[in-house]
Amino acid sequence: MLDWLRRKPLTPLAESYRQTTPGPLDRKAPLRSLSFVALDAETSGFDPVKDHLLSIGIVPIANGRLEVSRRRSWLVQQADSPNNEAVKIHGISPAESAQATPEADVLAELLPELQGVVLVGHHIGFDARVIGAALQRHFGVKLRNRLLDTSRLAMRHLDAFHKTGYENQRPPSLDEVCPHAGLPVLGRHTASGDAFTTGQLFLWLCGRLRVRWGREPLAGDLLK
């Protein structure tokens, strides 16, 4: 029997996400007319195939503003989270992870937030691969959102970043990202804090492009 005949039907939640995301894209639409979600994930390591989610933070962006009142974060349960070098970065102990919210429950709350939006992140490709693998495990659906990487955006449009090149940029860190944008340092390195800072950086970059181009950035300027 063919594989597709053996697949379980998608849950209503997963089917709704699949049907609405990524959705149509009008390349001439102003960025302000699109819905974005700034996202950051902390993981058990740096291999998107073997490692798992430990926390996720999101901040919706609408009409050119961070919707702080809708900011959300989750600590993800991983019973066998290793006590490795990554712990020094995210600060989530194996004991804390073992008592957190089950991964499937976190994703069930996350999926409605992702419907039809563009995901914004600093080195978002890594986070997208880890979240996509988790969605495939629990819901049988891939991560379908369009992605906008603030690191690549900065490299293309800001001279200071362009000289260093994308490959030389480190993954997001509050202490490293904020000085480039003249933004306040928020303190501890967390998924929630990094998502908020990434959202600020994204809006700041859009403002710089607006001034440079003398017009509102369009979807086609930044999204494929």
For residue range 98-137, list pLDDT tens digits in order. Answer: 778 999 999 999 999 999 999 999 999 999 999 999 999 9
Q: Name which of 210, 191, 219 is nearest 43 in CA terms.
A: 191
Q: Does 128 fall in a domain? A: yes
- Rounded to two decimals, the pTM is 0.82
For position 183, which CATH number holds? Answer: 3.30.420.10
Instruction: Decide if pLDDT at 27 tops 80.
Output: yes
Domain carrying residue 112: 28-222
| Cβ(27)–Cβ(214) below 8 Å | no
Q: What is the mean pLDDT of residues 159-179?
A: 48
Pairwise pLDDT comparison (76 vs 95), residue with the higher score: 76
**Residue labelled with tokens 């919210």:** 101
Reported as a pLDDT band with limits 50, 70 and 90, residue 184 is very low
Q: Does 4 fall in a domain? A: no
Q: How far apart are CA 206 and CA 106, in angstroms?
A: 31
3-state secondary structure of 168: helix
What single-letter amino acid sits at 201? L
Domain count, the chain: 1
Q: Does 3 fall in a domain? A: no
Q: How far apart are CA 174 and CA 21, in angstroms?
A: 30
Q: Does 18 fall in a domain? A: no
Q: How far apart are CA 222 and CA 60, in angstroms?
A: 18
